[in-house]
Amino acid sequence: MAQFIADRRDVDFVLHDQFGVSNLSKHEKFAEFNKKTVDLIVNEARNLAIKEILPTRKIGDEVGVKFENGQITVPEEFKKAWEIYKEGEWLAMPEDLEYGGQGMPRLLSMAANDYFNGANYAFMMYPGLTHGAGKLVEEFGTEKQKKLFLKKMYTGEWTGTMLLTEAEAGSDVGLLTTSAKKNDDGTYSITGAKIFISSGEHDMSDNIIHPVLARIEDAPAGTKGISLFLVPKYRVNDDGSMGEFNDVVCTGIEEKLGIHGNSTCSLTLGGKGECIGTLLGEENKGMRAMFLMMNEARLLVGLQGFSCATSAYLYALNYARERIQGKNLLQMMDKDAPAVPIINHPDVRRMLITMKAYVEGMRSLLYYVAYLDDLIVVSDNDDEKERLHGLIDILIPIAKGYVTDRSFEVCSHAMQVYGGYGYIKEYPVEQLLRDCRITMIYEGTNGIQAMDLLGRKLGMKKGKLVMDLMVEIQKTITKAKGVAGLEEYAAKIEASVNKLGEVAMHLGKTAMSEKVLSAFAFASPFLEAAGDVILSWMLLWRAAAAAPQIEKKPKDASFYKGQVKSLEFFASSVIPISMGKMDAILNTNGAAVDIEDASFGG
Amino acid sequence: MEILVCVKRVPDTSENEIEVGSDGQDIDRDDLVYSVNEWDNYAVEEAIQIVDKVGGKVTVVTVGDDESEEVLRREMAMGANEGILLSDDAFESSDGKGIAAILKAAVEKGSYDLIMTGAQADAGAGQVGGMLAAMLDQPYASLVNSIEVIDDKKLKVGREIEGGNQEMNEIQMPCVLSIQTGINEPRYVGIRGIRKVASVDIPVLGASDLGIDSGSVGNAGASVKVQDYFVPVFGDGAEMLEGSTEEIIDKLIELLKAQGGLK
Ligand SMILES: Cc1cc2nc3c(=O)[nH]c(=O)nc-3n(C[C@H](O)[C@H](O)[C@H](O)COP(=O)(O)OP(=O)(O)OC[C@H]3O[C@@H](n4cnc5c(N)ncnc54)[C@H](O)[C@@H]3O)c2cc1C
């Protein structure tokens, strides 16, 4: 392993052995994306990520973005990477060709994004947000809005953002006060102040297109009165050329723990009364539009967190092989015994296999959610499409909340493997740990993810989503039980799935009872337990794909054996703990809720 | 201008730790990730740039197995117009001369004004370009780091020589050039390029298509054979001097004096 982003063997395994990405090319929509094309795309994404984007990671951290006179500059090195990235047309991989996309399966775009984000996700937030903003225009824009904005956004000529947060409106967007006043020509004058806006201002593109949540005058309070507007930094004339400055002023940037390469801006809209926006979608339906886009945004944040974890694992693994320290435990008494690479120490191996199992399981989970989207595209059955949508809906809080929680832990393990050097800036893992941390907070904090799982997803369609998910998991269990050597692990995972079903029922019921607050105090533990079980499902799936190949492909035997070991470790050493977590949830102890505020002390 | 660029599929050093296999006959090729030889990539870029300026066509050719097709497709995604795969069991384990002979046969099936190779590939021998030129009886310039088209008969080519100095030559076409890295900045391959070549058929030519006697190439025809690969063991008696340059110089002088090397 000479590069430190993602293990190519693992990326290929998930694409081909686990999900069979090239089977999608049997469908006319994806006909071009045969195995050869898939491999070329992964090769070239990797090539660009390693050669041009990875070198910007440390620079982005150390130089960071600079704010002067209302202008923000990104590190000079970002610009070259940005140009090449745009030229390669990587920004809107899965989108429609008509608007500058590439019509690629989402599963495949995940692999490319695995490399790009792993190389420097703070940099990748510029195109990432542009893609998301473009998606809003594509889904909700009028023909005119699409014509004026979409292609320029999907090709990266103009970048995009997402303006939700205000000082008084964070997790609860319903509290926002940015206002919109309808003008005679049908446009709206926007006034307000947004904070924490990623990529809100920078010098990598001529124009920045802001989708803005605001309240039209006299609209209802709360989320029901929120509308979505398209607000460019420079107005756009009907012929597509850029017009006057649109009174979107950056008043400052945040100094923060990580992702220094991305500008986190405070933006004042219409400070001079000259900020004009056009309605995107329908009046007062802004939140609905946001919800439709949220799955994709949350999956991306899951990938961001994960990209730190995969990279941190590879660095730690390499370090453990090279760092010589301490004798082999079996030769402790021999005063002449040589010091050995730390990978020989059982405690270091424990950390490595923990990281390995999580990284592999999380990669599979993230790719799987993207793959479900492709399955929707190739399905011609509406019930099936709806079922697949349901699976995505229920998996998103896991793919965001659980994955970013675990990713941060993986970064922490990596730091531990490095010992003191891990804490030092000269080595890469401290940056990865810092960069990773925000993914647990933005795009809906992980607490909000847990509430989404318990409060919304669990009860959707009378619990059908959970049932469909259980059926999917059971398919893998049944298959794995037929694979020699996996029976025992499949049985352990089956027991945990059954218990998770019981816990879900219990918590769902408790949430409807007078113990509702206690139930929600267990929303996060529930997300965690559900995540453990789903991760074990992914590892079981992987092992079932790998085990039969151990004999068949001796050249790759160590990789395939490693898959079975990840499963063995997780089923034997993590799932029992998850069973305990589930016992605690079944108990639904009320201490957290019942304790008097004053008793917290302080 | 018709340009042929010879390319090779090699283990990617950014992805692999290269280790010598247990039998010492080769590197350990299990589980390696491959890509196009870096020097060849510069050659293809140069060819594309020339054709962009003066018109013509770029063909990429490789000698290899089925999997080598991927590097041809990759270079076509970059902008080469055609690819030819030279593949035959009889070609396996060819030495440099064998490879040059196979390429010569392919060259003679077309009509090329200019043939480019990378200055060297993974084996580091840097021999194929020169041998190919000799076999074709064409002029040859090695380690080329600049090319300018004078007219349809002549090129002006620069070569890097000792001490970073530059030599400029006029060379008659048809000719063979081996290309040095740094001659240009190879472009990256984008998705559009990949999609364009996704379903292009790449012709495969074997020994009989090329009129090659199987015994003259491959293992059978090889007169240079690798005997052993090994990583030299660290010997005794070496000492790394550490410190600032001045300190190192002082220590070195001291050592030389002490050992009688300086009086
Ligand atoms: C670097 C960075 C980049 C950002 N980028 C963007 C961006 O591009 N666009 C944008 O619009 N915003 C952005 N944000 C804002 C981000 O999405 C919010 O910070 C986040 O949603 C949390 O809101 P808050 O900070 O106001 O925290 P609060 O909402 O005050 O939350 C504080 C704590 O209370 C918990 N909490 C709050 N409400 C509830 C509840 N009802 N039930 C249970 N727990 C609750 C939260 O989980 C959290 O633990 C960014 C923030 C940062 C730091």
Model confidence pLDDT, tens digit, residues A315-362: 999 999 999 999 999 998 999 999 999 999 999 999 999 999 999 999
Q: Which helix (H) or strand (E) holds B159?
A: strand B154-161
Whole-number Cα distances in Å, A430 to A426, A585, B58 = 9, 34, 47
Residues linked to residue A242 through DSSP beta bridges, in sequence order: A236
Residue A375 is classified by DSSP as H
Q: Locate the chain A residue with the closest alpha carbon to B14.
A: A2
Q: Which of A442, A454, A526 to mutate to test the pocket of ligand 1 (most atoms within 8 A of CB)?
A: A442
Asked if B191 and A48 come within 8 Å (Cβ–Cβ), the reply is no
Asked if B198 and A32 come within 8 Å (Cβ–Cβ), the reply is yes
Work out the widest C-alpha separation in chain B, in whole angstroms: 73
Q: β-strand B114-118 against B175-179: which pairing, if any?
A: parallel
Asked if B195 and A556 come within 8 Å (Cβ–Cβ), the reply is no
CA–CA distance, A153 with A135 (Å, rounded to integer): 9
Residues linked to residue B251 through DSSP beta bridges, in sequence order: none
**For range A420-425, the mean pLDDT:** 97
- Which residues in chain B are closer than 8 Å to A556, comparing Cβ atoms? 30-31
Residue B199 is classified by DSSP as T
Using alpha carbons, select from A175, A129, A44 the residue that is nearest to residue A442.
Answer: A129
Q: What is the pLDDT of residues A221-270, one digit of tens each?
A: 999 999 999 999 999 999 999 999 999 999 999 999 999 999 999 999 99
Residues linked to residue B117 through DSSP beta bridges, in sequence order: B6, B178
DSSP string, A175-224: G---EEEE-TTS-EEEEEEEEEEET-S-SSSS-EEEEEEEEETTPPSGGG
Q: β-strand B165-172 against B154-161: which pairing, if any?
A: antiparallel
3-state secondary structure of B153: coil
Q: State how far residue A553 is from chain B, nearest Cα, in angstroms.
A: 10
Q: How is residue A528 written in tokens?
A: 């965690």
Amino acid at site A480: A
Q: Locate the chain B residue with the closest alpha carbon to A1.
A: B16
At B260, the pLDDT band (50, 70, 90 cuts) reads confident
CATH of B2-221, one of 3.30.920.30, 3.40.50.620, 2.120.10.30, 3.90.420.10: 3.40.50.620
pLDDT above 70 (res A178): yes
Q: Do A165 and A196 touch, CB atoms closer than 8 A?
A: yes
Residue having the nearest C-alpha atom to atom 36 of ligand 1: A171
- Which residues in chain B are closer than 8 Å to A41, comparing Cβ atoms? 191, 194
CA–CA distance, A244 with A265 (Å, rounded to integer): 21
Q: What is the pLDDT of residues B16-43, one digit of tens each?
A: 677 777 777 777 776 677 889 999 999 9
At A74, the pLDDT band (50, 70, 90 cuts) reads very high
CATH of A159-285, one of 2.60.120.10, 1.10.510.10, 2.40.110.20, 3.40.50.300: 2.40.110.20
Residue B82 is classified by DSSP as E
Q: Hey, where are the domains in chain A?
A: 8-154, 159-285, 462-591
**For range B46-69, the mean pLDDT:** 97
Rounded to 5 degrees, what are φ and ψ at A103?
60, 30
**For range A547-564, the mean pLDDT:** 93
Single out the catalytic residue among A443, A494, A528, A568. A443
Residue B13 is classified by DSSP as T
Of B13, B15, B188, the CB nearest to A84: B188
DSSP string, A506-571: HHHHHHTSTTHHHHHHTHHHHHHHHHHHHHHHHHHHHHHHHTTHHHH-GGGHHHHHHHHHHHHHII
- Residue B15: per-residue pLDDT: 66
Q: β-strand A71-73 against A234-236: which pairing, if any?
A: unpaired
CA–CA distance, B146 with B168 (Å, rounded to integer): 9
CA–CA distance, A10 with A18 (Å, rounded to integer): 10
DSSP string, B20-65: B-TTSSSB--TT--EEE-HHHHHHHHHHHHHHHHH--EEEEEEES-
CA–CA distance, A37 with A23 (Å, rounded to integer): 12
Q: How is residue A421 written in tokens?
A: 């050097």
| Mean pLDDT over each residue of chain A, to the nearest integer | 96
Asked if B15 and A2 come within 8 Å (Cβ–Cβ), the reply is yes
Does A8-154 carry CATH code 3.30.230.10?
Answer: no
Of the given ranges (A29-38, A453-462, B51-60, B230-239), which has the lowest mean pLDDT? B230-239
Probe site for chain A from B195, B199, B202 (most A CB atoms < 10 A): B195
CA–CA distance, B197 with A602 (Å, rounded to integer): 67
ipTM of the complex: 0.84
- Residue B31: per-residue pLDDT: 66
**Is A447 a pocket residue for ligand 1 (Cβ < 6 Å)?**
yes
**Is A414 a pocket residue for ligand 1 (Cβ < 6 Å)?**
no
Residue having the nearest C-alpha atom to atom 52 of ligand 1: A196
CA–CA distance, A146 with A209 (Å, rounded to integer): 12
Rounded to 5 degrees, what are φ and ψ at A151?
-65, -40
Q: β-strand A71-73 against A66-68: which pairing, if any?
A: antiparallel
- Which residues in chain A are closer than 8 Å to B191, comparing Cβ atoms? 41, 44, 88-90, 93, 102, 104
Cis peptide before B174 (omega within 30 of 0): yes
CA–CA distance, B168 with B156 (Å, rounded to integer): 7
Q: What is the pLDDT of residues A85-118, one digit of tens each?
A: 999 999 999 998 989 899 999 999 999 999 999 9
3-state secondary structure of B222: coil
At A555, the pLDDT band (50, 70, 90 cuts) reads confident
Q: Which of A445, A449, A451, A456 to mutate to test the pocket of ligand 1 (most atoms within 8 A of CB)?
A: A445
Q: Hey, where are the domains in chain B?
A: 2-221
Q: β-strand A159-160 against A208-216: which pairing, if any?
A: parallel
Q: What is the pLDDT of residues B135-164, one digit of tens each?
A: 999 999 999 999 999 999 999 999 988 888
CA–CA distance, A170 with A195 (Å, rounded to integer): 9
Residue having the nearest C-alpha atom to atom 37 of ligand 1: A171
pLDDT above 90 (res A554): no
Tokens 């050719």 found at:
B61
Amino acid at site A265: C
Whole-number Cα distances in Å, A388 to A111, A149, A366, A465 = 21, 31, 15, 9
Polymer length of chain A: 602
Q: How is residue A504 written in tokens?
A: 């879900």
Tokens 């018109």 found at:
B55
Tokens 């299990």 found at:
B30
Using alpha carbons, select from B230, B122, B11 the residue that is nearest to residue A2.
Answer: B11
For the question of residue A443 being annotated catalytic, the response is yes
DSSP string, A24-55: GGGSGGGTT--HHHHHHHHHHHHHHIIIIITH
Residue having the nearest C-alpha atom to atom 42 of ligand 1: A448
CA–CA distance, A523 with A515 (Å, rounded to integer): 13
- Residue A2: per-residue pLDDT: 61
Residues linked to residue A279 through DSSP beta bridges, in sequence order: A229
Q: β-strand B175-179 against B140-149: which pairing, if any?
A: parallel
Residue having the nearest C-alpha atom to atom 50 of ligand 1: A196
- Which residues in chain B are closer than 8 Å to A95, comparing Cβ atoms? none
3-state secondary structure of B167: strand
| Mean pLDDT over each residue of chain B, to the nearest integer | 92
Using alpha carbons, select from A127, A202, A122, A212 the residue that is nearest to residue A166.
Answer: A212
pTM over cut 0.95: no
Residues 6+ apart with CB under 8 A from A378: A24, A27, A29, A30
Of B17, B33, B190, the CB nearest to A87: B190
Q: Do A319 and A432 touch, CB atoms closer than 8 A?
A: no
Asked if B16 and A93 come within 8 Å (Cβ–Cβ), the reply is no
Q: How is residue A374 written in tokens?
A: 């492709």
Torsion region of A585: left, alpha or beta (phi above 0 gives left; psi -120 to 50 gives alpha): alpha
Probe site for chain A from B9, B10, B15, B71 (most A CB atoms < 10 A): B15
Whole-number Cα distances in Å, B89 to A145, B101, B103 = 59, 15, 15
